Amino acid sequence: MNEQDIRNIRHERTYDGYLKVDAYRLEHRRFDGTWMGEIRREIVRRGPAVAVMLYDPQRDSVVLIQQFRIGAYLAKRSSPWMTEIVAGLVEKGEDPAAVARRETLEEAGCEILDLVPLYDYIVSPGCIDETVTMFCGRVDSSKAGGNHGLAHEGEDIRVVVKTFDEAWTELHAGGLDTSIAVIGMLWLKVNREALRRRWA
Pairing type for strands 131-138 and 114-122 reads antiparallel
Q: Which of 3, 107, 153, 155 is catalytic?
A: 153
The answer to whether the CB of 89 falls within 8 A of the CB of 185 is no
Residue 166 near residue 157, CB atoms below 8 Å: no
Our answer to whether residue 153 is catalytic in this structure is yes
Distance separating alpha carbons of residues 77 and 72, to the nearest angstrom:
5
Element (H, E) at 138: strand 131-138
The answer to whether 164 and 64 are in contact (CB under 8 A) is no
Residues annotated catalytic, as ranges: 153
